[in-house]
Amino acid sequence: MGAPAYPLTLDLAGRRVVVVGGGPVAARRARGLLEAGAAVELVAPWVCEDVVSLATRGEIVWHEREFVSGDLLLPEAAWLVHTATGDPLVDAQVAAEADAARIWCVRADDAGASSAWTPAVARGRVGRASEGLTVAVTAGGDPRRAAAVRDGVLAALDSGTLPVRRVRQTTPPNAPATGRVALVGGGPGAEDLITVRGRALLAEADVVVTDRLGPRSLLGTLAAEVEVVDVGKTPGNHPVSQERINELLVHHASLGKRVVRLKGGDPFVLGRGGEEALHCAEHGIPVEVVPGVTSAVSVPAAAGIPVTHRGITASFVVASAHDGADAVLRAASDAAPDATLVLLMGVTRLGDTARALIRSGRRADTPVALVERGWTPEQRTTVTTLERAAEDALAAGVRAPAVVVVGDVVSVRNRLGDLSGE
């Protein structure tokens, strides 16, 4: 006998399966068989606590004695037998009787002497993109290797890095459509900074409505039949209005599609995710939000700038500079004088914003960092001051997307440098 050459799965529901042995290995085999719906009978003169519990609850039938000839055939022939007694002679006897009766036998003590093998099994988890999938791994009689590969496959299934999207209809043709929308925060741009949940939902999507920011490289991993709708906006150019984006989400979900709204950063941090969620809810569309790593914190970190630092400041304010200096001043009006100010969409009106902050009391020499394209290979940081911010940004050719950090924490970068790992 050798390594398995013909893998298959068995329907054991309601079928008699015999387990010989009462130790922890036999208990694990019995539990797995019960999960498959088998009618399990266990033969052993003594058993571990797990087996006692199964027998006490009536989940298995325990024959409290040694294995005897005929146990595999009476009261009816077993479909499968597992032997895990720890005694090679007994295991060999069980295997020989199983072979004579043409019953598949799994030997825990010697895989090479078995007529059947149990693979390491990974099952997709309920509520995940991998739900309904079963993957079995064999490794030529090396169960630890098989288990290690199994665990890796399960992690990949849950994370969506394996193709897990359903391709066959699983509901009756005339059943009402039950689409849904997931607002997924893609993080600051690096594809490995999206959350596991977000990555899994992306893998099972039928339609992806995507921004310009976020992990766009992941779009290349989608199946060819997945519809990708690009609604990306650039400064001064909004080809698809927010109202139209809202309508697109509802339209596709109403057709029974699984829709992912892939956004940069976090959907609820200056990402209009709240507006999209409300619109879906108003139209009866199930919606969930998947938090993302916001660029307001992660992009400064990539440049070696903590937004809070002991001895410098204990607070920070995030504001959109898209609507001009007045909006920034309102956001910072109740903040501590030493609070770090993080500005998103702040490049276009940087000069006006800097002058307004100086007039409101910020020091002209307050350090400023302009971090472009954070968490990408093109990341670049320009360090300046409030007084010279607009002039230095123009000279350096700073362009969006960029995060503007105002505060003394910028000085920490002098000792850390970039921390993005790119």
Whether the CB-CB separation of 250 and 256 falls below 8 Å is answered with no
Q: Which residues contact 225 (CB under 8 A, 6 or more apart)?
A: 167
Angstrom CA distances, 284 to 100, 205, 280, 307, stand at 62, 19, 6, 39
What DSSP element (H or E) covers 183?
strand 180-185
Neighbours of 26 (CB within 10 A): 25
The strand pairing partners of 166, in sequence order, are none
User: By three-state DSSP, how is residue 75 classified?
Assistant: coil
DSSP string, 289-320: EE----HHHHHHHHTT--SSBTTTBS-EEEEE
* Residue 171, token pair as written in the block: 């509901």
Q: Which residues contact 39 (CB under 8 A, 6 or more apart)?
A: 14, 15, 16, 17, 61
Q: What are the catalytic residues?
A: 211, 233
What DSSP element (H or E) covers 114?
none
